[in-house]
Amino acid sequence: MIKKIGESGDVKSKNDVYVKIEPSDKLVIKVETPLFDLFGEKITEEVKEVLDEFNIKKAFVTVIEKNALDFVLQARVEDALRNALGERDEVQT
Amino acid sequence: MKFRLRRSGLYVSGTDTKKMVDCGVYGADSVVLDLETSVPTSQKSFARILVKRALKKVNFYDSEVTVRINPIETFGEEDLHEIVQNKLNVVMIPEVSNNKTIKRLDSLLSDLEDERSITHKISIIPLIEDAIGLLSVEKIVEASERIVALTLDADDYLLSISGSRTKNEGELIYAKSKIVSVAKAYGCQAIDSVFLDENDDEGLYKESLAAKRMGFDGKRIVNPNHIEIVHRVFTPSLESIERAKRIMSEYKKNPDRKYLFLDGEIVRKAEIESAKRLLRGVF
């Protein structure tokens, strides 16, 4: 259950990704990436994989991606998720 | 105990995503993903998630995968809960100064291995960093059968005895000899301190050669270009491997003997034991 807004990353960093997760009554994954046509679907799948691990069915997820590797994307999603779940307070950049 | 070559241990920061992806391709015997010194406190929790995800997704090829966690008392337990999985081979634990730390780590690893159905036993490499740790190293190595190697943080050790480091490392002779002697007495490998100067190939070669002569089996490095130098120094010659094989072949014919003859010359017990170690990857 998403309790609050959780973030991870920095919109300015290259080869990284910014992820924001907000409470929502449905699942929405919004992806911004320089190569959306090529990687948009793959990025969405990677995000869903992490949400499934935590059994999250409802959330508004914003992903601003700048050529991040898949494991970095998933780590950012998990980090943001843990913040959103209230496991900790700090935002790690 | 499972042995393998640990000539080179290539350090990569747990926050350096590019190096984490690349580190497996260079052919280091071990890659060491670091969650301790290279990770600022403000990034510890993200770094351990990143390393966990890297372990799942990154191909480290033939390199043994080691993670240097934080001391058990400060973040180390949280690190373990994230990183224990099938692709993790070794946990390097810093600031070990007594056997309780190792017993605690061993117990945590056993619990996590059972809980997560890990198919192998994760090994431990204790990092000795102070005088108390050095004096307790026998008890430390006795504390867990998971220990495969011992290593020394030379700079922190010298700080603990108010010493300072020189190029010839005369001030480290006792500490390094003790690490090697205890490691070999207990059937472990000894891995020399990290070489941090990324541009000093000659210095690395000399330091590695000195370590090899003291009995070390490998060295920790930060620059992938240093792997070749370290391997050149720590790889036993083909002649010595061939001789070890011949000694063992003769020895197996009558294992009760304390000496044997090879090419008309006597081979004593110490060389038989040395041949055994060499063929197991412990030089």
Please indicate whether residue B236 or residue B36 has the higher confidence score (pLDDT): B36
CA distance B50 to chain A (A): 5
Compute the nearest-CA separation of B16 from chain A (Å): 10
Q: What is residue B135's predicted lDDT score, i.e. its pLDDT?
A: 98
Query: Facing residues of B194 across strands?
Result: B220
Which residues on A lie below 8 Å from B18 (Cβ)?
15
| Residue B130 structure tokens | 């102070």
pLDDT digits (tens, 9 = 90+) for B56-113: 999 999 999 999 999 999 999 999 999 999 999 999 999 999 999 999 999 999 999 9
Taking contacts as CB-CB distances below 8 angstroms, the residues of chain A near B58 are 71
Task: Quote the minimal CA–CA distance from A37 to chain B in Å.
Answer: 23
Other CB atoms within a 10 A radius of the CB of residue B197 amount to: 12
Predicted confidence (pLDDT) at residue B273 exceeds the cutoff of 80: yes
User: Quick check: B172 and B154 in contact, CB under 8 A?
Assistant: yes
Sign of torsion over alpha carbons A67, A71, A77, A80? negative
Label residue A87 by pLDDT band (50, 70, 90): confident
- Record the tokens describing residue B179, joined without a space: 């690490």
pLDDT of B37: 96
pLDDT at B267: 93
Which CATH superfamily, name and number, covers B8-235?
Phosphoenolpyruvate-binding domains (3.20.20.60)
Give the pLDDT of residue B2: 56
What residue in A sits closest to B59 (Cα-Cα)? A71
Q: Are B26 and B223 in contact (CB under 8 A)?
A: no
Structure tokens at B50: 């990143």
Q: Would you call A78 and B54 a contact, using CB atoms and an 8 Å cutoff?
A: no
Q: Report the side by side order of strands in the sheet with A6-8.
A: A6-8, A16-22, A59-66, A27-32
Q: Are strands A6-8 and B265-267 parallel, antiparallel or unpaired?
A: unpaired
The pLDDT > 90 percentage for chain B reads: 86
pLDDT in tens, A16-67: 999 999 999 999 999 999 888 899 999 999 999 999 999 999 999 999 998 8
Q: What average pLDDT does this structure show over B164-188?
A: 94
Is the per-residue pLDDT at B3 higher than 90? Answer: no
Chain B residue numbers with beta carbons less than 8 Å from the beta carbon of A72 are 17, 50, 53
B23–chain A nearest CA distance, Å:
15
Q: How many CA atoms lie within 13 A of B97 on its CB side?
A: 10
Distance CA B92, CA B149 (A): 10
Chain B residues within 8 A of A90 when measuring between CB atoms? 42, 45
A74, A82, A90: residue with CB nearest B53: A74
The two tokens of residue A41 are 């679907």
For residue B99, how many other CB atoms are within 10 A of its CB? Answer: 19
The residues spanned by each domain of chain A are 6-84
Chain B residues whose CB is inside 8 A of the A74 CB are 53, 57
Locate the chain A residue with the closest alpha carbon to B40.
Answer: A92
Angle between helix axes B269-280 and B238-253 (nearest 10 degrees) is 120
> Which residue on chain B is closest to A80 by alpha carbon?
B46
- HSE, side-chain direction, 13 A CA sphere, residue B70: 22
- Mutate which of B57, B60, B116 to test chain A, going by most A C-beta atoms within 10 A? B57
Q: What is the pLDDT of residue A86?
A: 87
- Going from N- to C-terminal start, the domains of chain B cover 8-235, 239-280
Which of A45, A69, A87 to mutate against chain B (most B CBs within 10 Å)?
A: A69
Chain A: closest CA distance from residue B17 (Å): 7
Cα separation of B110 and A11, whole Å? Answer: 40
Q: Does A71 touch chain B (CB under 8 A)?
A: yes
CB–CB of B208/B234 below 8 Å?
A: yes
